[in-house]
Amino acid sequence: MQLTPQQLRQFDEEGYLFLPDCFSEEEVATLRDEAEQIYATNRQEVWREKTGAPRTAFAAHTYNEAFRLLGNHPRLIRPVEQVFGEKLYMHQYKINAKAAFEGDVWQWHQDYGTWARDDGMPEPRAMNIAVFMDEVMPINGPLMLVPRSHKHGVLSAGHDEETTSYPLWTLDNETVTRLVNLGGIVAPTGKPGGVLMFHGNLVHGSAPNITPYPRRIVYLTLCAVSNYIRKPTRPEWIAHRDFTPIEPVADGALLDYARAYKREAAE
C-alpha cells in the first residue's frame, strides 16, 4: 500500500491520516479474540485500570502470533517507511482496551514527549499507527487529535503519575487551549479495520468510556532505524531495544492465520 502525494501532503500539514477499511472483519475478529485472551492473563505486560479492567497490553508482537503478523504487516509498515524514507523497527506495541464502562482517560499529550524524555529518542522520527479493533464512535472514548499541533515541536509537559495507572508526560490546559484555538479537535471514527497514523508530536488524548461499547485499538510505534533510542529508562517490554529492521510479511499472512484459527476453533 502506497500513500498518494495528496495523502502525504495531508499528513504533513494536518499531522494525521485516517485510512478506513485497511483490514477485513475476518482479520480483525481474530485479533479481538486473541486480545481478550491476553487481557485474561496476569502477564506483567498487561496494565490495568484502577478498577482492574485491562488498560493496555504491551509487546504482544513478541508473544502472540496474530499480533506478530500485524506488527510486520505491509499495510502498516509500507506507508510509515514512505514517510520516513528508511526501514523501521518496533519501538513500542500496545493493545489499548478502553473497556466498556471502565476505560479511563488518556490525558492530552504528545507521544514523542515521552519517547524523548524517557527513552532518549533523538528525533520525532517515530509514529503511532493505530488499528481499530472495534467500531470507534463519538461516544466510546475515541482518540481526539489537535490538527496541526505537530508543527509546534516538543511542548513543555508535567509527569503525571497519579491520575491513571499509566505515567504520562501531560500538557497543561493553557497549552491545549492555545493549540485547539488554532487547529480545533478531530476524533476520527469508523469501523473495525480502520487505521489512523499520526505524527509523534501531534497533541492527542481520549476521554473515559462510560458506554457498554469497548474501544480496543492496537498501536504500533514504528521508529526509523537510524533514530533508535539512546538512553532507555523503561523496561525492555515497554521501550524495545531490538532495533532490527522490520521485513514485512506477505499481505495475506494475517488472513491465512485468521482462517486457520477459525478452522481450529471449529474442530
Mask of contacts with ligand SIN, 119-148, x by CB under 6 A?
------------------------x-----
Q: For residues 113 and 214, which CB has a smaller minimum distance to Mn ion in the complex?
A: 113
Residue 49 engages Mn ion in binding (rule: CB under 5 A): no
Q: How far is the CB of 98 from ligand SIN (least distance, A)?
A: 6
CB of 156 to ligand SIN, least distance (A): 18
Give Cα 40 distance to the centre of its chain.
Answer: 21
- Rounded to whole angstroms, the maximal C-alpha distance in the chain is 58
Q: Nearer to Mn ion by C-beta: 189 or 221? A: 221
Residue 86: closest CA among 221, 251, 226: 226
Compare residues 206 and 227 and give the one whose CB is closer to ligand SIN: 206
Residue 263: CB minimum distance to Mn ion, A: 37
**Looking only at residues 72 through 101 of this chain, which bind ligand SIN when binding is defined by CB under 6 A?**
96, 98
Tell which one of 64, 107, 206, 227 touches ligand SIN (CB under 6 A): 206
> Measured on CA atoms in the order 179, 180, 181, 186, is the torsion positive or negative?
positive
Window 70 to 129, contacts with Mn ion (CB under 5 A): 111
Where do we find the cell 466498556? Answer: 100
Q: How far is the CB of 148 from ligand SIN (least distance, A)?
A: 18
Q: Strand 54-58: give its sheet, edge to edge.
A: 16-19, 195-199, 126-132, 217-224, 88-96, 54-58, 46-48
Instruction: Determine, following the binding rule CB under 6 A, whether residue 196 of this chain makes contact with ligand SIN.
Output: no
Which of the residues 99 through 118 are near ligand SIN (CB under 6 A)? 106
Report in angstroms how near the CB of residue 131 gets to Mn ion at its nearest: 15
Q: How many residues bind Mn ion (CB under 5 A)?
A: 1
Specify the DSSP element, H or E, that contains 19.
Answer: strand 16-19
Total residues binding ligand SIN (CB under 6 A)? 8
State which of residues 61, 125, 199, 204 lies at the interface with ligand SIN (CB under 6 A): 204
SS3 218: strand
Least distance in Å: CB of 201 to ligand SIN? Answer: 13
Contact assessment for residue 20 and residue 190, using Cβ atoms and an 8 Å cutoff: yes
Number of continuous H segments (helices) and E segments (strands) in the chain:
7, 12
Contact 98, 139 (CB under 8 A): no
* Residue 97 and residue 53 in contact, taking contact as beta carbons nearer than 8 Å: yes
Spatial distance between the Cα atoms of 79 and 75, rounded to a whole number of angstroms: 7
Toward ligand SIN, which CB reaches closer, 171 or 249? 171
Paired strand residues for 46: 57
Residue of 113, 176, 132 lying closest to 21 (CA atoms): 132
Q: Closest distance between ligand SIN and the C-beta of residue 134, in Å?
A: 12
Q: Which residue has the cell 493496555?
A: 56
What is the grid cell recorded at 243? 532495533
Residue 45 interacts with Mn ion (CB under 5 A)?
Answer: no
Out of ligand SIN, Mn ion, none, what residue 112 binds, judged by CB under 5 to 8 A for its kind, is: none
Interacting residue ranges for Mn ion, rule: CB under 5 A: 111
